[in-house]
Amino acid sequence: MAAVLSNQGGYYRPHAYIAECRRMRLHVDGPDINLSRWRYYGRMDTVVVGLMAVKGISRNGAADIIKARAKGGDFQSLTDFMRRVKLSRDDIIALCPAGTFDSIAGGLSRALQARALLGGNAGAGKAGKGQADLFAAEPVTEYQGVGAAVLAPVKKKAKAITDELWEEYNALGFLRRLHPLALWKDRIVTVKRIRAIRIGDYLGRYVCLVGWPVTQKEVWTKDGLTMSFLTFEDETALYETVIFPKVYDKYNRLLFDQRPLLVYGRVMEEWGAVSVEVSKVEVL
């Protein structure tokens, strides 16, 4: 699985392989400043996310981190990291939302991690357009400078945690500890649905599932009409669907974005393969 992710290949998007790792009871760790290499790799029952997964990280910046770690051992704190590695501002802004420094940040939020690193690193400087949002999750209540107390940890509010999860998802394309559907948990709990792992219990019945589009294959009927075989997943399993031309024409505009959907249809079985014959699709 680590090799497939590193090669950026395979049939599914990266978050689908990450979710499958968890369903296989593999741990997913990182990206982490002391564990991650450039590529993904496996050790024992863990898949370690590579720095390559972080959108916007430069190859040179990642190489500097790995080289400094090989030479001087694990980083012990943000102060230790800043003493040994000089990253560009763009690399810092890329790494912090992905949670890369969480293990050495002493409980600081990612917004305050970025502020500390920008303040004490060669990448320090006036924040450019788009950086203000990174720092907006929590107010700075104390700043004593790098080498002193750095920044006092602040208790995170629910909104700040949600903001961090969204930033993490935007930085990686998946969540480190959770399925992306966790970002919509408040909406999902209000939906009467079945979970994909139990789909075989509902043969012949009309059901509603939460579905995150994973991959899609379009085919054409003998009359030249388009239909689709689409793989969805929820937080429990992947499941297959069949979308016939009339339904496809009505809902195809919803099927190509990375966002959760409500999938309605009848559970069917053919030659031992279970799928859902879709009759309706809605945005969650």
How large is the angle between the packed helices 158-172 and 110-120, nearest 10 degrees?
70
The whole-angstrom separation of Cα 111 and Cα 280 is 41
Bridge partners, residue 145, by sequence: 150
Decide the pairing of beta strands 238-243 and 273-283. parallel
Query: What pLDDT score does 27 carry?
Result: 86
Name the phi and psi angles at 245, rounded to 5.
-50, -45
The whole-angstrom separation of Cα 224 and Cα 155 is 59
Q: What is the pTM of this model?
A: 0.71
The whole-angstrom separation of Cα 64 and Cα 85 is 7
Query: What pLDDT score does 23 carry?
Result: 76
The whole-angstrom separation of Cα 147 and Cα 150 is 6
Query: What pLDDT score does 5 carry?
Result: 64
Q: Collapse the DSSP code of 63 into the 3-class scheme (helix H, G, I; strand E, B; otherwise coil) and give the result.
A: helix
Which residue stretches of the chain have pLDDT < 70? 1-12, 121-160
The whole-angstrom separation of Cα 84 and Cα 207 is 56
Query: What pLDDT score does 246 carry?
Result: 93
Among 172, 169, 182, residue whose Cα is nearest residue 52: 172
Q: What is the pLDDT of residues 69-102, one digit of tens each?
A: 999 999 999 999 999 999 999 999 999 999 999 9
Query: What pLDDT score does 255 carry?
Result: 82
Query: What pLDDT score does 10 carry?
Result: 60
Tokens representing 16 are 């689908």
Query: What pLDDT score does 261 carry?
Result: 94
Looking up tokens 């680590």 gives: 2
Looking at residue 200, its amino acid is G
CB 243 within 8 A of CB 213: no
